Amino acid sequence: MEEVEVAAKKRDEERVASAHAYFDNIHTKRKLLSLVNFILLAAGSLLILSPIWWMISTSLKSMAEVMTYPPTFYPREWNWDNYIKTWKAAPFDTYAINTITITMLVVIGSVLVNSFIAYGFAKVPFKGRGILFAIVLSTMMIPGFVTLIPQYVLFSKLQWINTYFPLVVPAFFGSAFFIFLLRQFYMTIPNELIEAAKIEGASHFRIWWTIGLPLTKPALATVAIFSFNGAWNDFLGPLLYLNDESLYTLQLGLQVFKGEMNTQWNYLMAGSLLVLLPVIILFFFFQKYFIQGINLQSGGK
Amino acid sequence: MRKKLNYKRMEGLQGYVFILPWIVGFIAFTAGPLIFSFAASFTNYNITSQMDFVGFDNYENLFTADNLFWTSLYNTLYYVLFSIPLTTAGAIFLSALLNQDVPGIRFFRTIYYLPAVLSGVGVYLLWMQLLDPGTGLVNTALGWFGIPGPNWLFDPDWTKPALIFMKLWSVGGGMLLYLASMQGVSKSLYEAAKIDGASSWQQFRFITIPMITPVIFFDIVTSLIGGFQIFQEAYVMSNGEGGPVNSMLFYNLYMWKKAFESFDMGYAMAMSWILFIIVFIITIINLKLAPRWVHYEGEER
């Protein structure tokens, strides 16, 4: 480090004569670079947002306008009732209630159970902890389809086909990714805190409930949001396990709706937007928990 | 002394109680299914009536008598080979842009990240509309530059590029991972380089890139595992068929059809083990190659 500084000083001295010109040059260069950067980012974000605008715009057009060539970038008439028509064209009420039920159960299970398991791996010493945690991590490498088919066999033998059990029950037995995420967070909580409570005579269960849960709230929010997203957007699970339309989720309902609507893009886009909206709203309100989850991920490597 | 020992044992027991949900879940939903699946891959299991041992017949048929197996493997490799370098490079480039002091940087980060949280049928429907040859935004925009757009999802040569294109929209997810790691790079490294007269590009190439190689490694390993499992978008966008001309028949989609449409469960499970082995070998190769290019801080080069 020092050598570098000495060398740098020497070099700067050599440049004393042209110092002013040199620094002016650097400044304009840097400003120019920052401007170019800004323009690139602004153009890029227009590009990124254009599909979302296109979805909104198409959802408000009449079918005649959807079919015009070249397509219009901005709807001539704003047909807000497309949304009402879409909602009524299929049992979206039922789909929404079903999806909310499944999602809530999955979120509750994921938050409580993974926190419980992660506390054990992070704060309770027991024999074989290291090896078991290594197994937790290694299960993340298993391609989902390898277990999907035998799981289907298991659930069908249990008579769980066409029920919500296959979609909800596994969430109450922990997921490797969430255990890993929460364990990372628990590791940042000082052991002295746990030790102090132990001296007071508290069991680990009490410590987890009264200290662990409240202190890990930010990480639990991340788990809640990720599991919400996972359950809300799950298509494969409902496709595999649900047969009756009265049990369908929004994802599955939207897929059926797609088949019925063919290329009536205005209704299809309205339906898509309605299904995506809760996630978009959640994202804007709780962005920092999304980002935190990603930071916990990269910090763990 | 004795009391202490007892306490240790008690604490150990508590530890097992904490991880009990995971142990039960691991046995019921991962280990058990894995064992069953491995055994059943050597049978003609069809879930209802038959489960006769057939030796290596399933594996032999896959390699020697099933053209669709090779087609699906080719499609999947094509997707992985193009999508992973593109998304990785795109995410690094984007995070470099977003790691600068530019007005509105927080806003930009939010915008670029947004598509990464959107998934499911709504997004696939949106892209089916965007890529529609007649009324879609993509070909309309290409038309402004006088470029005749392809038929995307209707042209077997363009279906996979279309899916890769769609994947690139959500490059912001990886971007955040890299951004977090770039912000962890010590400022003094850049200052020293600047004094030595290193250009922005040289700083990026010789400081930023080496410092974020652990995250690049993590990203490549997880995207490879994920990329081989592409299913949902192909299922929704080809109506579960994998067409046109099987150009979207990815490995998992073919496995799905074998398992849940023709109920060739033994055969499908053999397929899943071949995928597992492929993913496993690639991960091992990655781990072996890592020391050659992944730079961990505090490590002698």
Q: What does the pLDDT look like over B263-296, one tens digit per residue?
A: 999 999 999 999 999 999 999 999 999 999 998 7
User: Is A46 an interface residue toward B (CB < 8 Å)?
Assistant: no
- B15 interaction partners in chain A (CB closer than 8 Å): 120, 124-126, 129, 204
3-state secondary structure of B92: helix
pLDDT of amino acid A300? 46
What span, in angstroms and rounded, lies between the C-alpha atoms of A166 and A168? 6
Q: Note whether B34 contacts A268, CB cutoff 8 Å.
A: no
All structural domains of chain A, each given as residue ranges with its CATH number in brackets, are 2-79 (no CATH), 86-299 (1.10.3720.10)
Task: Yes or no: say if B4 and A106 are a contact pair by the CB < 8 Å rule.
Answer: no
> Which stretch of DSSP H or E encloses residue B186?
none
Comparing B6-20, B55-69, B228-242, the range with the smallest average pLDDT is B6-20
Chain A residues touching residue B18 (CB < 8 angstroms) = 116-117, 119-121, 124, 204, 208
Evaluate if residue A1 carries a pLDDT over 60: no
pLDDT surpasses 50 at A301: no
pLDDT of A60: 96
Task: Please judge whether A116 and B21 are an interchain contact, meaning their C-beta atoms are less than 8 angstroms apart.
Answer: yes
pLDDT score of B10 more than 90 = no
| Whole-angstrom distance, CA of residue A289 vs CA of residue A283 | 9
Distance CA A92, CA A268 (A): 13
Q: Measured between CB atoms, does A59 come within 8 Å of chain B?
A: no
Tell me the whole-structure pTM to 2 decimals. Answer: 0.90
Residues A260 and A254 sit within 8 Å (Cβ to Cβ): no
Nearest chain A residue to B264 by CA: give it: A149
Residue range A82-98: average pLDDT?
96
Does B236 contact A7 at a Cβ distance shorter than 8 Å? no
Report d(CA A237, CA B52) in Å as an integer: 29
Q: Which residue of A has its CA nearest to B280?
A: A141
* The pLDDT of residue A297 is above 80: no
pLDDT digits (tens, 9 = 90+) for A169-203: 999 999 999 999 999 899 988 999 999 999 988 89
- Given its phi and psi angles, is residue A162 left (phi above 0), alpha (psi -120 to 50 degrees) or beta? left
What was the pLDDT predicted at B5?
Answer: 66
CB contact under 8 A, A179 and B102: no
Which 94-133 residues of chain A touch chain B by CB within 8 A? 113, 116-117, 119-121, 124-127, 129, 132
Q: Write down the pLDDT at residue A293.
A: 78
Q: Which residues 268-287 of B have a C-beta within 8 angstroms of A?
A: 268-269, 272-273, 275-276, 279-280, 283
B146-165 residues touching A, CB cutoff 8 A: none
B11 has a pLDDT exceeding 60: yes
Rounded Cα distance between A64 and A56, Å, is 16
- The span from the CA of B223 to the CA of B294, in Å, is 17
Are residues A117 and B143, on separate chains, in Cβ contact within 8 Å?
Answer: no
Please tell me which residue, B5 or B168, carries the higher pLDDT value. B168
Bridge partners of B43?
Answer: B53
ipTM here:
0.90
Which pLDDT does position A2 carry in this prediction? Answer: 62
CB B214 within 8 A of CB B294: yes
- State the average pLDDT for chain B: 92
Q: What is the mean pLDDT of chain A?
A: 90
A7/B196 CB distance under 8 A: yes
The residues in A 73-92 lying below 8 A from B, measured between CB atoms, are none
In DSSP notation, chain A reads -HHHHHHHHHHHHHTGGGHHHHHHHHHHHHHHHHHHHHHHHHHHHHHHHHHHHHHHHHHHS-HHHHH-SSPPSS-SS--THHHHHHHHHTTHHHHHHHHHHHHHHHHHHHHHHHHHHHHHHHH---TTHHHHHHHHHHGGGS-HHHHHHHHHHHHHHTT-TTSSHHHHGGGGG--HHHHHHHHHHHHTS-HHHHHHHHHTT--HHHHIIIIIHHHTHHHHHHHHHHHHHHHHH--HHHHHH--SGGG--HHHHHHHHHHHHTT-HHHHHHHHHHHHHHHHHHHHHSHHHHHHHHHHHHHT-
Give B269's contacts in chain A (Cβ within 8 Å): 149-150
| Total beta-carbon pairs less than 8 A apart between chain A and chain B | 279
DSSP string for A255-290: HHHHHHHTT-HHHHHHHHHHHHHHHHHHHHHSHHHH
Contact B233, B163 (CB under 8 A): yes
C-alpha B39 chain-centroid distance: 27
Q: Is B1 on the interface with A (CB under 8 A)?
A: no
**Residue owning tokens 């959640």:** A282
**Cβ contact, residue pair A136, B22, below 8 Å:** yes
pLDDT at B141 over 90: yes
Q: Any chain B CB within 8 A of the CB of A157? A: no
What pLDDT does B300 receive? 43
- At A290 the pLDDT is 83
| CA–CA gap between residue B165 and residue B115 (Å, rounded) | 13
Question: What residues of B are in contact with residue A234 (Cβ under 8 Å)?
Answer: 120
Are A67 and B135 within 8 A, CB to CB?
A: yes
B27 reaches A (C-beta below 8 A): no
- Evaluate whether B129 touches A269 at the Cβ level (below 8 Å): yes
User: With 90 as the cut, is the pLDDT of residue B55 above it?
Assistant: yes
Q: What is the DSSP letter of B248?
A: T
A119-123, A249-253, B200-204, B247-251: least confidently modelled range: B200-204
DSSP for B21-82 reads HHHHHIIIIIIHHHHHHHHHTTB---SSS---B-TTHHHHHHHHH-HHHHHHHHHHHHHHHH
Judged by CB atoms within 8 Å, which residues 47-66 of B form the interface with A? 47
Output the pLDDT for position A23.
62
Q: Does A254 lie at the interface with B, CB-CB under 8 angstroms?
A: yes
In chain B, the residue whose alpha carbon lies closest to the alpha carbon of A259 is B239
Separation CA B263–CA B30 (nearest Å) = 21
Contacts of A70 (CB under 8 A, 6+ apart): B140, B143
Q: Taking Cα atoms as reference points, which of B276, B256, B121 lies closest to residue A240?
A: B256
